[in-house]
Each structure stands twice: as C-alpha cells, then as structure tokens.
Chains A and B, each alone.
Chain A
Amino acid sequence: MKQRETIYGLMAEFATPEQLLEAAHHTHEAGYRRIDAFAPFPIEGLAHAVGFKGSRLPLVVLIAGILGGISGFFLQYYAAVIGYPLNVGGRPLNSWPAFIPVTFELTILFAAASAVFGMLAMNGLPTPYHPVFNVPRFALASRDRFFLCIKARDPMFDLEITKNFMLTLHPREVTEIEP
C-alpha cells in the first residue's frame, strides 16, 4: 500500500506506434482506467484506446464565435446609432452592410482565440514539471519512442501486479515513475 504514494505510476516503452496502440487497447481492456499514452506524433485511435471520450472544444469555439459576432455588431450599432449619431455622407445611421466586415473579423478573432486557449486549458498546459519526465528515456517520446503509463492513482494499480501485466505487453522496458 505504501509504494502508492512513493511513485506516480509505471511507464512502459515501445518501439513502434502499432505496439503502443495494441498495448493501450490491452491495458484498457484489462480494466485500467488511469492510463496515458505518449507518442512523438498524433496516432489515430490512440486517445480512444486510452479511454478518451472526445473533446468539447468545438462547442466552446462555436459559442465564442457567436459571442464575438454579436458583440462586434452591437459595438458598431451603438457607436453609429446611439452613442453619437452623425450624418456621414448622407448614409443611414444604421448602415448595417458596412458593419459586416468588422462583425465577421471579431467572430473569427473570438473563435480562434477560444480554440487555442481552450485547447491549452483543457490539456492543463502549461505543465513544465511532470513526473513522466523523470523516466530516463522519456526524452525519446519526442523522437522515435512510444510510451504507455499506468498511474498509481488507478484503483486497480498494484506495483507488482501491474508491472507484471505491463511486461506481458512486450515493452522494451518498464520503469517506475518518480512522483
């Protein structure tokens, strides 16, 4: 029971994406839930394999975009019709066709910003320090190695059993992750 606090989890290293994907599937099927996979590039289906249910990011972006558009138009409407109505070249106060470009730009701006910052926030970045970096060979996770991690927080986690389980996945090696 003690070791649970002393380590963050177990990390298995694989040579190819296929191995990792397969391993991830097995682990999930084996009932592990607090698991994570690491790869130098996005791998089709890997997130699903580790039990990711898909992102709410698109919804956030949609809402932000709509907000941007509405506020953009009413900013202009207020300025031209309510704030200080002026006869500009005989054009009507609410020259809505002329307000379209700015409305559009603000829609895009809000949406794009929400996409980027939403992504970062949901990914919990920035995280300059992370236990997985304690794995000596983890530097290769951004080169040509593929890693699977079962966190100690996982209810099914037991150092020995889990390690043995992981060895069944034919990893290059399994290491304990310092917290």
Chain B
Amino acid sequence: MAQIFHHSTNTIARVSIYGAVILIGILGYAANVVNQTSYVTEVHNALPQPVPFSHKHHVAELGLDCRYCHTSVEVSSSAGMPPTQTCMTCHSQIWTNAQILEPVRASYRDSTPISWTRVNALPDFVYFNHSIHIAKGVGCTTCHGPVGEMNITWRENTLYMRWCLDCHMAPQKYLRPKSEVFNAFYKAPSDQETLGNQLMIDYKVKKLTDCTTCHR
C-alpha cells in the first residue's frame, strides 16, 4: 500500500491539535482583555460636547462647589443638570463675547435647551439614586473620578454591575466623612478600612445586595 500522506503530516497533525487548544486559550484571554479596553467600557473617553465645558477650570481653578450646578444631588435621584440660566449667572458678566460660549448665549436667547452628551450613563433598567449615596458618605469623586482634573469630562469607571457590587458588598472600602463628600480632591486615609468600618456604624450603612435595590 502506498503512503497517503507525506511524512510531515504527522507533525502538522499534532501541531494543529495542540495549536487549537492553545489558540482557544489565547482567544479567551484576548476577549477578556478587549472587554476591559476603553473601546468597550468607554472609560476615559472624553466625549465631545456642544460647549467644551471644563470641570477642571470651574472646580479646581475657580473652586465652585458641585452643588452649584448639580443642585438636586442631595434631594433627588438625579443630580440635576444646570439650566442655561445657571451658566448665564456668571457668563452674562464674564466672557460675554467668548466664541465658545455662543451656544450657551444662543440657548438663553431663543430658549432652546443645550443638549449635552451623557457621560455617565446607566442602562434604563438600573435605578440609581444620588441623594442616598451622598447622605451615606459616598463622595462624588468616588464614582465620577478626579472631576477636578477633567478638561473635557470623561467616565472614570465602567459602571458595570460588578463595579457597583464592589462597593455595595464592602462599603467600608470607599466611605468618607460626610464633610468630605463634595471635596473633589479628597484623598482616602491610609487606614481607610478602620475609618470605613466606623463610618458604616455612624451612618448606618448596610451592605445592599438585594436585586431590587437597583432593578425594578
């Protein structure tokens, strides 16, 4: 009987078998890596806005409090986006003819709202409430990142459920004194654990992992 295959096919056959196994492993790993890139998670993507509003300028340099614009953050589920009016309180006096502020003035003039691009978006089936987080000592920057350093705002965290649970399962890792909640430059102390545990007692913070805490 004549050989059907060339000598090399032995090697090829084995290589291809082991190769396949290894390849699957690599692909799995790759997928995992890709899923963590900002392409998928959209983290650290500074999104284009109608007006290039700089939190860095307003917060870090001018020292505005978060609540000056996001007025309802302490009382409502939504932190609130400032109406054009709020911008105009200052910008009717300063930078009155800066070109980049034209959209703001236009909006105020012919009362058409500015439509900003949402940076920190949650799916519609997630119900997040700002006020209660504020009330329990979760700082703005804990989730929104170093807003004071953002020229154009980006999303600091994935906002995946896994990420939410990281804190909901162990709040002590992130809590800060209520006095520091709005401090955009707060640095967690070295003994965060002890502080956190103390705050959990003081603020009656529970580990909320019930599904209906966020989904209804």
A and B touch in the complex (CB under 8 A): yes
Does B117 make an interface contact (CB < 8 A)?
Answer: no
Which residue of B is nearest A136, CB measured? B1
Which residue of A is nearest B169, CB measured? A84
Using A126-B17, A137-B1, A139-B1 as known contacts, list a sample of 14 further A-B pairs with CB atoms less than 8 Å apart, ordered by residue number in A: A84-B165, A85-B209, A126-B13, A127-B10, A127-B13, A128-B4, A128-B5, A128-B9, A128-B10, A129-B3, A129-B9, A133-B1, A133-B2, A134-B2
Q: How long is the Cα–Cα vector from A129 to B12 in the complex, in angstroms?
A: 11
Pick from B3, B10, B17, B165: contact of A134, CB below 8 A: B3
Please indicate the chain A residues that have their CB under 8 angstroms from the CB of B215 in the complex: none
Which residue of A is nearest B7, CB measured? A129
Please indicate the chain A residues that have their CB under 8 angstroms from the CB of B1 in the complex: 133-139
Does B14 make an interface contact (CB < 8 A)?
Answer: yes
Does B187 make an interface contact (CB < 8 A)?
Answer: no
Q: How long is the Cα–Cα vector from A134 to B5 in the complex, in angstroms?
A: 11
Tell me how far the C-beta of A94 lies from the nearest C-beta in chain B, rounded to whole angstroms: 18
Pick from B4, B7, B10: contact of A126, CB below 8 A: B10
Tell me how far the C-beta of A120 lies from the nearest C-beta in chain B, rounded to whole angstroms: 9
Binary interface encoding of chain B residues 172-201 relative to chain A, with 1 for a CB under 8 A from any of its CBs, else 0? 000000000000000000000000000000
Tell me how far the C-beta of B176 lies from the nearest C-beta in chain A, rounded to whole angstroms: 26
Please indicate the chain A residues that have their CB under 8 angstroms from the CB of B165 in the complex: 84
Q: How long is the Cα–Cα vector from A86 to B169 in the complex, in angstroms?
A: 12
**Closest 8 pairs (CB-CB, A-B):** A139-B1, A128-B5, A126-B13, A128-B9, A129-B5, A138-B1, A129-B7, A133-B3
Report the count of interface residues on A (CB-CB < 8 A): 14
A-B contacts, CB under 8 A, total? 34
In the complex, chain A residues 135-168 whose Cβ is within 8 Å of any chain B Cβ: 135-139
Tell me how far the C-beta of A134 lies from the nearest C-beta in chain B, rounded to whole angstroms: 6
Q: How long is the Cα–Cα vector from A126 to B1 in the complex, in angstroms?
A: 19
Does B216 make an interface contact (CB < 8 A)?
Answer: no
Please indicate the chain B residues that have their CB under 8 angstroms from the CB of A126 in the complex: 10, 13-14, 17
Please indicate the chain B residues that have their CB under 8 angstroms from the CB of A133 in the complex: 1-4
Report the count of interface residues on B (CB-CB < 8 A): 15
Evaluate contact between B6 and A129: CB separation under 8 angstroms: yes
Please indicate the chain B residues that have their CB under 8 angstroms from the CB of A137 in the complex: 1
In the complex, chain A residues 62-96 whose Cβ is within 8 Å of any chain B Cβ: 84-86
Please indicate the chain B residues that have their CB under 8 angstroms from the CB of A135 in the complex: 1
Please indicate the chain A residues that have their CB under 8 angstroms from the CB of B14 in the complex: 126
Evaluate contact between A84 and B13: CB separation under 8 angstroms: no
Which residue of B is nearest A140, CB measured? B1
Please indicate the chain A residues that have their CB under 8 angstroms from the CB of B10 in the complex: 126-129
Which residue of B is nearest A139, CB measured? B1
Q: How long is the Cα–Cα vector from A85 to B169 in the complex, in angstroms?
A: 11
Which residue of A is nearest B12, CB measured? A128
Q: How long is the Cα–Cα vector from A138 to B3 in the complex, in angstroms?
A: 10
Q: How long is the Cα–Cα vector from A159 to B60 in the complex, in angstroms?
A: 92
Q: List 23 A-B contacts (CB under 8 A).
A: A84-B209, A85-B209, A86-B209, A126-B10, A126-B13, A126-B14, A127-B10, A127-B13, A128-B13, A129-B5, A129-B6, A129-B7, A129-B8, A129-B9, A129-B10, A133-B1, A133-B2, A133-B3, A134-B1, A134-B2, A135-B1, A138-B1, A139-B1
